[in-house]
């Protein structure tokens, strides 16, 4: 076939159009516009669903009484055709010095991958933070899961493929997901967790950081009482 520069331009235009379309349809970018209050309510619903899940509920409730903190992602998204992406907003809830669950700090998980991925996938996900050192690592501005901090992938919900063995004991962080589609807890590994200071400020009515929230020096927001209660109840089962 004879080469024509015009054909090359058409191919480049077609590829660019596909990439732009993929970016425009990224559910992670479009769906993370929840207000902080909505995110807390959705996190409460996600915890309730995950502890009742027949595949992962027992694993969560067994470990939760020993957890130092919990990170809940009501919706983690894996992206679209050709240009794939993963991510979502979540809340970090930690125990105070007396063992009670404190107010939520807001976080975001960001990841990206290039590959053939058709359609979006969504999952509820949870990290159980088992040690003080792991919690300290997560309070950094940005931390890469599986690199800056070790993550053990627990069993996954219906419809998802298992990531690693559940036989590992003494893990710093356990990852669980309740997935719709082929999107297991292993998808969290490699993601970058970052703090959302602006969301913390909006929720608590002033500039505050995740460390202050976890330390209990920030006045609690009663709107999160339901989230704290469901986590406490799940850990008491």
Domain chopping of the chain, boundaries: 27-235
Query: Which pLDDT belongs to residue 28?
Result: 35
Neighbours of 88 (CB within 10 A): 26
Q: pLDDT per residue over 14-59, tens digit each?
A: 434 433 443 343 443 333 335 899 999 999 999 999 999 988 899 9
Give the list of residues 6+ apart from residue 182 with CB closer than 8 angstroms, or none: 121, 159, 160, 161
Tokens coding 148: 């800056």
- What band does 148 get if pLDDT is binned at 50, 70 and 90? confident
Distance between CA atoms of 11 and 9, rounded to whole angstroms? 5
Chain mean pLDDT for the chain: 75
Query: Which pLDDT belongs to residue 11?
Result: 39
DSSP, res 76: E
Q: pLDDT per residue over 107-130, tens digit each?
A: 998 874 544 344 456 678 899 999
Edge-to-edge strand order for the sheet containing 83-94? 142-144, 192-195, 105-114, 83-94, 69-78, 121-129, 173-180, 152-156
pLDDT for 77 beyond 60: yes
121 in Cβ contact with 179 (< 8 Å): yes
Query: Which pLDDT belongs to residue 180?
Result: 53
Mean pLDDT of 128-135: 93
Query: Which pLDDT belongs to residue 68?
Result: 95
Distance between CA atoms of 127 and 131, rounded to whole angstroms? 12
- What band does 207 get if pLDDT is binned at 50, 70 and 90? confident
């Amino acid at each position: 076939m004879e080469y024509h520069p015009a054909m090359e331009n058409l191919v480049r235009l077609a590829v660019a159009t596909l990439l732009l379309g993929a970016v425009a349809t990224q559910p992670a970018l479009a769906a993370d516009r929840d207000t902080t209050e909505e995110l807390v309510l959705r996190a409460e619903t996600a915890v309730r669903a995950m502890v009742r899940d027949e595949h992962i509920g027992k694993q969560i409730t067994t470990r939760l009484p020993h957890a130092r903190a919990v990170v809940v992602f009501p919706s983690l998204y894996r992206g679209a055709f050709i240009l794939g992406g993963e991510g979502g907003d979540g809340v970090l809830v930690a125990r105070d010095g007396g063992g009670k669950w404190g107010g939520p700090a807001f976080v975001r998980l960001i990841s990206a991958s290039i590959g053939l991925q058709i359609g979006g996938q969504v999952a509820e996900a949870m990290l159980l933070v088992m040690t003080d050192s792991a919690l300290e690592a997560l309070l950094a501005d940005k931390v890469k899961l599986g690199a800056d901090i070790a993550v053990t992938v627990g069993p996954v919900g219906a419809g998802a493929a298992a990531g690693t063995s559940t036989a590992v004991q003494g893990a710093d962080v356990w990852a669980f997901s309740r997935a719709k589609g082929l999107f297991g807890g292993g998808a969290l590994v490699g993601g970058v967790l970052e703090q959302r200071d602006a969301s913390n400020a909006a929720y608590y009515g002033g500039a505050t950081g995740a460390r202050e929230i976890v330390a209990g020096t920030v006045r609690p927001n009663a709107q999160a009482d339901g989230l704290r209660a469901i986590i406490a109840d799940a850990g008491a089962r």
